[in-house]
Amino acid sequence: MRKQLFIIGLALALPLAGARAQEPVIAQPAQAIAETLSAASSLSQLKAVVVAHNGKIVAERGYGGHTPAESANIKSASKSIISALVGIAIAKGLLEGVDQPIAPILASDLPAERDPRLDRITIGNLLSMQAGLERTSGGNYGRWVASRNWVRAALAMPFVDDPGGAMLYSTGSTHLLSAILTKVGGKSTLALARDWLGPLDGFRIGAWDRDPQGIYLGGNQMAMSTRSLLAFGELYRNGGRTADGTQLVPEDWIRESWQSRTNSRFSNDGYGYGWFERVIGGKTVHYAWGFGGQMLYIVPDLGLTVAMTSEEGDPSARSGYRDNLHDLLAKIIGTAES
């Protein structure tokens, strides 16, 4: 099996962002982390891993002929990018805040005879997956994307809980956010992402699916390289600032996004605004997760950011593969602390 190994020493590493977290010394980072990544070749679904410490790539590796530079479908890891765009829109005054009701913005797509609880759903409810509407993910996903109007179909789903209730993980919720961004921003979600996140070095969104009305699919089917995913993670690790200090995402929005507001009924991991939270390797980790094993981990205490991409066709939760990726991160954390 063809493998490509890319190891970059700290002295030659690509600077991604200024260090703001604690800066423990990682002994022989290139060699130690490279050995950890080499052992991960036993994970057959894994395509690429990139590891950065305090803003510098210390190791990266491709598996099975893949490279960290090639495009991958990051699936639901893109929900964290949608969250960033919402935070920027709020800072720009295009949205009032997380308590703003969504019904007035999406009035033209509301059901003719609607449940009054639709008027209570807020921007924050969509971000934290607490809209109360039946999920469009899982077994309902195929029927939802086969509909003629994804926004209307998501809003027409029956309520299974009240707004602000239990977490109901649903791509329909983040797609509604994409529709909202398109309306208030006056241009497509992709154009907004390129405008607002464009100054971030190394960040690029490639192909991205759209619904029948041309709205980019909020929270799924987004193409991005592993390195680009890492660059986005570094932006968050660095408080929303680029390497040259340009503030792209408000720092307080990052804190709000990482504050757990509910818990996944499947893993019990905390969930904020488009980000999961879990203790891995003894450290609090904020992470984005996409189907198949598309992972973006941020470990603030160690100044670590780790991006992983995998084959997109196989599930990662039920198979235990996502746990294998968590374990790989735990080994990287252990190496960083050794």
What's the pLDDT at 11? 32
- Structure confidence at residue 27 (pLDDT): 44
Question: Count of CB atoms within 10 A of residue 226's CB?
Answer: 30
Tell me the per-residue pLDDT of 276-315, one tens digit each, with 9 for 90 and over. Answer: 999 999 999 999 999 999 999 999 999 999 999 999 988 8
Residue ranges of the chain whose pLDDT lies below 50: 1-27
Give tens-digit pLDDT for 102-137.
999 999 999 999 999 999 999 999 999 999 999 999
Which region holds residue 181: left if phi is over 0, alpha if psi is between -120 and 50, else beta? alpha
Structure tokens at 325: 């990726």
Which has the closest alpha carbon to 103: 87, 126, 81, 137? 126
Task: Report the pLDDT value the prediction gives residue 313, as an integer from 0 to 100.
Answer: 87
pTM for the whole structure: 0.91
Q: Are strands 4-6 and 56-62 parallel, antiparallel or unpaired?
A: antiparallel
Which residues, 6 or more positions from 198, have their beta carbon under 8 angstroms from its beta carbon?
none
Q: Residue 259's pLDDT is what?
A: 98
